[in-house]
Amino acid sequence: MNANDILEEMKKLRYECRILNAEIINLQGKSKRKTQTLDSIIDQNNGMTENVDVLKKQIINFELCDVDELQRQYEEIQKEIKSHQAEYKDLCNDISKLEDALDIQRASTLKQDIYGQLSCGYRTAPLKQINKEGCAIALKRSLEDELNDLQEKGAPIRVIAKKRSQLSHVGILCTQLRI
């Protein structure tokens, strides 16, 4: 890969990120609305559950009552609960899709950052490191040094894991560059 290929790849990744960001914004809006709907459904469900409990108590307390009417009301409430449960399942599926899109966007951003670091490395590297292999090696070594420093300082596990992930991605790029 030469510098132009990497820059083209970066342009493609930026374009993909823009598309993903637009989709994420749309999904977040939908998710917010569905979360509000979900909250209202849960509140309604709680109200319905309370109604069912009240009906059960009424059945126990009254010796003579219209059992058929109570049974009909109970069945209607059960139908409403089932419809709310179906809506809840749909909302959970939508939230899952949104989380998947966010994960894809995060991975794409990380890859774009690594390509950007490699690209910027060409301009800031000493003359002996102008080639892409030298920049990739320099980036890999700097990430290894940062990882070692974080481990020595006792940084949080998630920070160390993120740095390891970045190092892994750079390792893959180095393999692609045949370093």
pLDDT of residue 113: 64
Strands (DSSP E) contained in 83-156 are none
Rg of the Cα atoms in the chain:
28
pLDDT of residue 127: 45
Written as six digits, the tokens of 45 are 């469900």
Give 133's contacts (C-beta < 8 A, 6+ positions apart): 177, 179
Element (H, E) at 120: helix 67-124
pLDDT of residue 76: 94
Listed as ranges, residues in the chain with pLDDT below 50 are 122-123, 125-130, 179
pLDDT of residue 125: 44
pTM, rounded to two decimals: 0.30
Q: What residue type is assigned to position 101 of the chain?
A: A
- List, for residues 163-177, the tens digit of each pLDDT value: 888 888 777 776 765
End-to-end Cα spacing for the chain: 12
